[in-house]
Structure 1
Amino acid sequence: MKKMLICLFLLIATLSGCGLGASQQMPIELYSGKPLHIAVIGELPEVELDQVKFNTISFQELENINTISSSYDAVWVMNSQFDTADQERYVKVYTALSIPIFFIGTKKSYLPFVFEDMTYDDAPDIPGDYVAGYLQIDQEQFQFWGFELNDNEVTERNVIDAYMRIFTVISELQ
């Protein structure tokens, strides 16, 4: 009986030291790949990495498809700009870019941005993704990405983690 109590005590002490029931956060793997140059419509992301440079552009500048495609590795549209980004006139721009475009903070995936008769407000919510990426490969093929946040929680840590994963996808397309 005494051995059993000692074993039980040791087991409890060991398990309590392991943090049972506590959320175990994996460390964020910082992007360390190729240098990237990203155009941003909206507020610049709060990320500082030597190999990632952000430049603010306007929707008017985005319409110069060849210049944007040759000057940047990707375009990010921040959620504060979705009321403009979903306008029908930009569908042709997004689908003509030869670099991927990412919609940061979307609850509707890429759908309202690449279908002409759909606005952001009219599009169905698509649970899970916080960022949607889109790249038109040719007239009939496209590629898209969805990036979820850990535990579906919008925290600085989770957003930074999603950004790191996006940087990796962009670098793999180069």
Structure 2
Amino acid sequence: MRNIILNSLIILIFIFVTGCTSNADTVDTPLYSGKSLFIGVVGEVPKIREEHVHFTSISFEELEDYSKLSSNYDAVVITKEHLKEADDNKYVKVYTNAGVPFFFIGATKSFMPFVLEDVSYEHYSLTNFNNDMYVTGYFHNGEKFRSWEYGLYNGKVNEPNIKNVYSGMFTTIESIKNGTYE
């Protein structure tokens, strides 16, 4: 009998402790609820929460014909596995003339290695850049440029936090599409 009471007490304490702790690794943010978006992606198509955001896989060769990007896509995403190739000098004119925003997933060193010639992502360092970022974005409309940084909640790399970053990114893309970005 004493073992049953002791075991029951241990189970109740365990339930109380695990049930009352908060999950500090994630935060619930609103879904992107704006207009449908069409995004080109170099790399693997990400898992997202929104059903009205559509990704199409594209290659670096397709990026080189940047005059067609703005008529086909609202933005372009380049995944972490392709950042080294993305900083090739031949793509600088793509990022600065395509008329769509580019988002570099997993880029912890700013957008600058991608838009400046002869600057290598691998060797680039910027002392004032927050390397806790998960995504850096860049948009040039011919007159001025704008950049964005998106970090993960509490710096934790997990699926809910990554999906939250994408939702924020989609809001930015819509503001660019509508001409309301700052």
Correspondence for 2:170 among 158, 162, 167: 167
1:114-154 deviations in Å (ceiling 9; x for gaps): 11121111111632211011011225x21000001111111
CA distance in 1, matches of 2:132, 2:71: 32
Q: Determine the structure 2 residue equivalent to 1:11.
A: none
Distance 1:134 1:24, change over 3 A: closer
DSSP 3-state at the match of 2:163: helix
The 8 Å contact of residues 25 and 154 in structure 2, kept in 1 or not, is answered as no
What percent of counterpart residues are identical? Answer: 38
Distance 1:24 1:151, change over 3 A: closer
Correspondence for 2:155 among 152, 155, 164: 152
DSSP 3-state at the match of 1:132: strand
Matched residue pairs, number? Answer: 157
CA distance in 1, matches of 2:92, 2:119: 10
Q: What letter matches 1:65 in structure 2?
A: Y
Q: Determine the structure 1 residue equivalent to 2:86.
A: 85
1:50-65 aligned at under 5 Å gives the runs 50-65=51-66
CA positional deviation for 1:20: 7.6
1:36-115 aligned at under 5 Å gives the runs 36-47=37-48, 49-115=50-116
Q: Determine the structure 2 residue equivalent to 1:118.
A: 119
Q: What letter matches 1:118 in structure 2?
A: V
Structure 1, unaligned stretches of length 5 or more? 1-15
DSSP 3-state at the match of 2:110: coil
User: Root-mean-square deviation (CA), in Å?
Assistant: 2.0
CA distance in 2, matches of 1:86, 1:134: 13
Q: Determine the structure 2 residue equivalent to 1:135.
A: 139
Structure 2, unaligned stretches of length 5 or more? 1-16, 178-182
Distance 1:54 1:20, change over 3 A: closer
Q: Name the TM-score, length of structure 2 as normaliser.
A: 0.79
Q: What letter matches 2:148 in structure 1?
A: W
CA positional deviation for 1:63: 1.2
1:73-97 deviations in Å (ceiling 9; x for gaps): 0000001001110101100111001
The 8 Å contact of residues 25 and 153 in structure 2, kept in 1 or not, is answered as no
CA distance in 2, matches of 1:68, 1:42: 16
Distance 1:156 1:20, change over 3 A: closer
CA distance in 2, matches of 1:24, 1:85: 31
CA distance in 2, matches of 1:22, 1:78: 28
